[in-house]
């Protein structure tokens, strides 16, 4: 099966591409490198020994995307391409709506034209919004988000549901990721955020290298195990494996399914920092700061549906995630 990965040079796309190639799929990447580097694609080949056809294109552009579909016999698509920074989406909402929605609409139109009817989409736990109880289950009402980034995910989920309703041949799997962290155990690919990281683990890694002086922990007075925020962290290789399973599911089922990809367990910020320090034997200086606006105290997945429908569950522990993150960061202190 030949799979198109939009945004395949990015953090999750590159790891998924490695898993696909290792399992005998062919892969084509379309990425405009707005948040990634071509070097990531070279390293995919280095790890797997297999070639990937790369299209350095903005997938909002129909002409370029149509050319790709003309040149390649695509069987299925995994759609990662999009902007993903929550804070930036509040400052530049139009840029987020334009890119994330346009990319999806163009992609679906071109897929239809070429009779490609299997798609796996990168959604997010953020679609559960503020009011659902934890753990989050796929049957919960999805009613609204707290930021434009989240709204793009929710809107794209709706676009895919409506498209599948109108087209009985379409298979769409909406993967709701929890918090992906870590890196490929080879240390050759990993997360490479530009500027000062917003997310916890990339920040911890920069503090560990000495590039940032200390971590700010946003709040220690939540009603959680130790007062700090709790999230469901998932190793990016487990997440990548989940995409392969989702693709296999889409190959044999029609219609739309939303599926959580999480471990089903929550870890606090302090647990994460202490685990990173313990497994890597590196101190991570921190200070307690005020809560970050918009943060929820605690959320994690109910991971049963992924187990039942995809036969998938996580294999890596928090220790593995911290170790593999440091392996990547220490070997690539300046990223790619």
For residues 166 and 94, give the distance between their C-alpha atoms in angstroms, rounded to a whole number.
Answer: 28
Minimum CB–partner distance for residue 316 and ligand NAD (Å): 16
The only residue of 29, 57, 119, 200 in contact with ligand UDP, by rule CB under 6 A: 200
Stretch that binds ligand UDP, among 23-31, 52-60, 99-107, 210-218 (CB under 6 A): 210-218
Minimum CB–partner distance for residue 110 and ligand NAD (Å): 13
The footprint of ligand NAD on residues 44-73 (CB under 6 A) is 58-60
Minimum CB–partner distance for residue 90 and ligand NAD (Å): 15
Task: Find the DSSP H helices in the chain.
Answer: 11-22, 38-48, 62-71, 86-91, 93-113, 148-166, 200-209, 236-252, 269-280, 304-305, 318-331
For residues 4 and 53, give the distance between their C-alpha atoms in angstroms, rounded to a whole number.
Answer: 9
- Closer Cβ to ligand NAD, 70 or 221, answer by number: 70
For residues 190 and 43, give the distance between their C-alpha atoms in angstroms, rounded to a whole number.
Answer: 10
| DSSP class per residue in 132-166 | SPSSB-TTS-----SSHHHHHHHHHHHHHHHHHHH
The only residue of 54, 81, 110, 230 in contact with ligand NAD, by rule CB under 6 A: 81
Contact between 242 and ligand UDP per CB under 6 A:
no
Beta carbons of 40 and 336 less than 8 angstroms apart: yes
For residues 39 and 44, give the distance between their C-alpha atoms in angstroms, rounded to a whole number.
Answer: 9
User: Residue count at the site for ligand NAD (CB under 6 A)?
Assistant: 27
Beta carbons of 235 and 181 less than 8 angstroms apart: yes
Q: Of 149, 177, 249, 316, which one is the catalytic site residue?
A: 149
Stretch that binds ligand NAD, among 11-19, 205-213, 218-226, 317-325 (CB under 6 A): 11-19
Known active-site residue 233: no
The footprint of ligand UDP on residues 254-313 (CB under 6 A) is 269, 292, 295
Contact between 88 and ligand UDP per CB under 6 A:
no
Contact between 194 and ligand NAD per CB under 6 A:
no
For residues 122 and 55, give the distance between their C-alpha atoms in angstroms, rounded to a whole number.
Answer: 20
The footprint of ligand NAD on residues 119-178 (CB under 6 A) is 122, 124, 177
- SS3 state of residue 109: helix
Binding site for ligand NAD (CB under 6 A): 6-7, 9-13, 30-36, 58-60, 80-82, 84, 99, 103, 122, 124, 177, 180
């Amino acid at each position: 099966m030949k799979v198109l990965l939009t945004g395949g040079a990015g953090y999750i796309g590159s790891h998924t591409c490695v898993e696909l190639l290792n399992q005998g799929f062919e892969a084509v990447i379309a990425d405009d490198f707005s948040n990634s580097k071509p070097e990531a694609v070279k390293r995919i080949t280095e790890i797997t020994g297999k070639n990937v056809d790369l299209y350095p294109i903005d997938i909002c552009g129909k002409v370029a995307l149509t050319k790709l579909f003309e040149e390649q016999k695509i069987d299925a698509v995994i759609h990662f391409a999009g902007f993903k920074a929550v804070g930036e989406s509040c400052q530049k909402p139009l840029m987020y709506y334009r890119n994330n929605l346009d990319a999806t609409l163009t992609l679906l139109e071109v897929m239809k034209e070429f009779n490609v009817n299997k798609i796996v989409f990168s959604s997010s736990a953020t679609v559960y919004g503020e009011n659902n109880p934890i753990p989050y289950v796929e049957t919960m009402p999805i009613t609204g988000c707290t930021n434009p980034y989240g709204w793009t995910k929710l809107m794209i989920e709706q676009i895919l549901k409506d498209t599948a309703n109108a087209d009985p041949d379409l298979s769409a799997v909406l993967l709701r990721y929890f918090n992906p962290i870590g890196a490929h155990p080879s240390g050759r690919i990993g997360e490479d955020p530009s500027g000062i990281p917003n997310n916890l683990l990339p920040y911890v890694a920069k503090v560990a290298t000495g590039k940032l002086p200390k971590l700010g922990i946003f709040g220690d007075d939540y009603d959680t195990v130790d007062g700090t925020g709790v999230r469901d962290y998932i190793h990016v290789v487990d997440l990548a494996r989940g995409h392969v399973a989702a693709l296999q599911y889409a190959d044999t089922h029609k219609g739309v399914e939303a599926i959580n990809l999480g471990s089903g367990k929550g870890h606090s910020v302090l647990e994460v920092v202490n685990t990173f320090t313990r497994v890597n034997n590196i101190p991570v200086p921190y200070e307690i700061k005020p809560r970050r606006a918009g943060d929820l105290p605690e959320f994690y997945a109910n991971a049963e549906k992924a187990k039942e429908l995809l036969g998938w569950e996580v294999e890596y522990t928090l220790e593995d995630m911290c170790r593999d993150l440091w392996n990547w960061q220490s070997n690539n202190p300046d990223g790619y």
